[in-house]
Chain A
């Protein structure tokens, strides 16, 4: 094909008003270099996006239906909600959105830099490495190998693989491409890609610091309050730097391309990029309002979320206003329809986010489906629709043919958009309904719905509507898959690979004159500030220095993080110690690992907030000092079932075993999965020694228990005792060697330490039945101050 000469370097800063004048050009003395873009890798990532998207959405639909019909897990532990929900979220975020990001980055970076990707080998290592990670996730999560931290569930060997593939393959390939670019300045999309790559690396590495116990089991190095803080610093910024900034980069490239319109405002790009990057990173603690997190951190999380509203909307208005003058094209172009709706969903979610982060709103919304509705309006509306728009724009270009059917794309758009609305709106109603039911008191001062399951039953109609919405969204996806296959079938026998040419960048560069000050300032200093800062000249210089730009981005993120992280770890009063809180016994520790493996935290919180209705329903509110041995923390984020923070001693062993065997034996309306396999499977007593030693290495005071054989002996003694009590209570025989005993031991320990005397027996001794020492105190115990 004919050689395409792409633009030559342009100079100067602000454009001229003179209409029709060509941009000032200076012919470069450097010789033209020729290059070919690697579109094969883009095709690979695009296909992976579509395949994993379908998997993620089907997994979501499957577990959504399980909430309405709990029997749908067919009694198999691999298909229970607790194990598949992490699979759904990881697939949606890292497989679907992840591959979509790579599609966008590999397509646009090459063109924005006028350079082929640095290394085809790294590109392929990146692609296959990432797919390997996804397959590992799909195998380990249903088998119950999990760290128990939301969206960071993958175990330590996979975590290492992620770090290598993300930074070693993807990051290296990307940054080396930047260094070899033939376009002097970096376009705003590239800024967002840079921020995403460096920040996700930092988040992943620091949240995933964990001590391996076995090949597929590790404990978080952080405990309790600190672990919760790190987890939501990570969790929130995974939303920020995995689901927001790369997609803004995607928007900044594909939306003006599809609309064939200039971007609305370059200056808005600068302002909202830096404010977004700096402010987003602080907002994590808004996931932990009213918990045992220190109040100062909670307040910072809230105010930074509120301040984040406009920086987020900066991207939204820059996207929507770019469509000005192109609105008429929306009628005929499904790509623009997807983009316009996607950006609209982005703006709705980024208004809703700050609103939900206001403490008093959060008191109602937290632990309910409102949060689920919020993330799905973002994930399906923003990430989903933007990805689909990009794919429809890429299909004819990558397969070098015509899109098979524009009409089918239109159908996809309407099915997808209506599907999202039908998903999100009922779940909003459901979330608010349940939140209000939890806090309702009647005139005598008692809870109006003391029976938790009543508040679950109220959600059933909403759950069915949500499933129909999800089905509609998937139907749209299927239409796209058919359209994509039929488009692919009309591809040429051999793809055309156009050869482009552009001069290499010269080592020296003249930035041109600083712009004239526009202010009528008296001092030279003020004039300088105007020219250099207010008119953005300094930034224009940064844009041609990728290393400096990357360092500045990293600094913005790390400095902001340090302001919150350092005090969380250093200030002693954040976690006042409680003398009666002791480490778990070896058996309870192993039971806790079963609790984590089964994904109980996906439906049950362990955090009673200091709100009157919660303490009425669940008992004394949780104190920071109660979690000092919890590696990892298990506070949860959604109460599909009731809170378990004070579950210990609430019911008999017999009740628990019957309930795990089949929850509907005890509560006919229950939607909890059955855990009958725990009554069948043998418990591995030999495993407890390694667990205790790992905990001891993390600073849990286990003393003599780490010595050979001690932990196992203690575990056997406690198991025998519980099994004897169990038999006396209701007749379950020979349970002493089964997994269920360890889990029951853990359940009966939950939240009981706080009401024991300070000199209660150390963990070496097997604890007796829950101590009956002091009544629930009328005054808050230690750590109540803010």
Chain B
């Protein structure tokens, strides 16, 4: 492009039907139009700036906004209320665990806890992988139902079973102990054979 031209909107798309002026310079044959920055560009740019200013003031200076951490806390309170309702802090004793075993809604919650934390070693259906099979009658560190809660809380076998007291709340440990008790007698897909150290124990007391 060597000569200077005036071009019109129908061919060049200049704003508002006005002529496009070429700038009075060229670089290696490249010319530039003197078109104005599009109006909508200015409007959008100012709108994003305005949004940003309002956001910073609203989020960081006004009492109307809540922080990410406060939100999380509120949700935790709401969810715990929803799950545990008026249960308060559960005890890891026989009576409480037996009661929990019959609560299908809480056992569904417990299933989630089990699958997130326990299934890696004990299998999703409790059949055992490198952790013990929880569905048969042979146990090593458990004689009674509250023993399950104790093992979950404090761990066992040189740390092969980790202690969960720092990972799960008391209520979660009670629930997951109840869930594990319920696994006894179920039929997993590929049950692991009992370890020599495991011995058969009495059936759970009637519930």
Partners in one complex: yes
Q: A16-B24, A268-B35, A786-B67 are in contact. Are A450 and B115 (CB under 8 A)?
A: yes
Min CB gap B55→A, angstroms: 6
A650 cross-chain contacts in B, Cβ below 8 A: 117, 120, 162, 167
Q: Are B55 and A15 in contact (CB under 8 A)?
A: no
Q: Are B170 and A729 in contact (CB under 8 A)?
A: no
Min CB gap A126→B, angstroms: 22
Q: Could you say which of B36, B45, B155 has the most chain A C-beta atoms within 10 Å of its C-beta?
A: B45
Report the stretch among A222-230, A610-618, A735-743 that lies at the interface: A610-618
Contact of A667 among B25, B120, B160 (CB under 8 A): B120
Q: Are B41 and A262 in contact (CB under 8 A)?
A: no
Min CB gap B8→A, angstroms: 11
B116 cross-chain contacts in A, Cβ below 8 A: 447, 450-451, 616-617
Q: A649-B167, A780-B69 are in contact. Are A12 and B162 (CB under 8 A)?
A: no
Proximity bits, B46-58, A CB within 8 Å = 1, else 0: 0011011001100
Residue of A nearest to B5 (CB): A19
Residue of A nearest to B38 (CB): A317
Report the stretch among B92-100, B104-112, B136-144, B199-207 that lies at the interface: B104-112
Q: Could you say which of A14, A185, A309, A612 has the most chain B C-beta atoms within 10 Å of its C-beta?
A: A612
- Interface residues in B25-39 by Cβ distance below 8 A to A read 25-38
Min CB gap B13→A, angstroms: 4
Q: A445-B82, A651-B120 are in contact. Are A450 and B112 (CB under 8 A)?
A: yes
Within 8 Å of chain B (Cβ to Cβ): is A183? yes
How many A-B contacts at CB < 8 Å in the complex? 266
B129 cross-chain contacts in A, Cβ below 8 A: 666
Q: Are B167 and A307 in contact (CB under 8 A)?
A: no
Report the stretch among A367-375, A391-399, A766-774 that lies at the interface: A766-774
Q: Are B67 and A17 in contact (CB under 8 A)?
A: no
Min CB gap B169→A, angstroms: 5
Q: Are A290 and B68 in contact (CB under 8 A)?
A: yes
A776 cross-chain contacts in B, Cβ below 8 A: 166-169
Within 8 Å of chain B (Cβ to Cβ): is A489? no
Q: A15-B34, A19-B4 are in contact. Are A770 and B41 (CB under 8 A)?
A: no
Min CB gap A574→B, angstroms: 14
Within 8 Å of chain A (Cβ to Cβ): is B62? no
Question: Roughly how many angstroms separate A275 CA and B42 CA in the complex, as a whole number?
Answer: 12
Q: Are B167 and A304 in contact (CB under 8 A)?
A: no
Min CB gap A452→B, angstroms: 8
Interface residues on B, range: 35 or more
B60 cross-chain contacts in A, Cβ below 8 A: 295-296, 299
Q: Are B160 and A778 in contact (CB under 8 A)?
A: no
A262 cross-chain contacts in B, Cβ below 8 A: 1, 22, 30-33
- Interface residues in B78-133 by Cβ distance below 8 A to A read 79-80, 82-83, 105, 108-109, 111-113, 115-117, 119-121, 124, 129-131
Within 8 Å of chain B (Cβ to Cβ): is A552? no
Within 8 Å of chain B (Cβ to Cβ): is A176? no
Q: Which 8 A-B pairs have the closest CB atoms?
A: A446-B112, A303-B52, A262-B31, A310-B45, A755-B166, A729-B160, A265-B35, A450-B115
List 27 A–B pairs whose Cβ atoms lie within 8 Å, in order of A's numbering: A14-B21, A15-B22, A15-B34, A17-B19, A23-B26, A187-B27, A257-B29, A261-B1, A263-B32, A264-B13, A268-B41, A299-B55, A310-B45, A311-B45, A313-B41, A444-B109, A446-B109, A446-B113, A612-B76, A649-B167, A654-B160, A728-B157, A728-B160, A772-B153, A772-B154, A772-B165, A776-B169
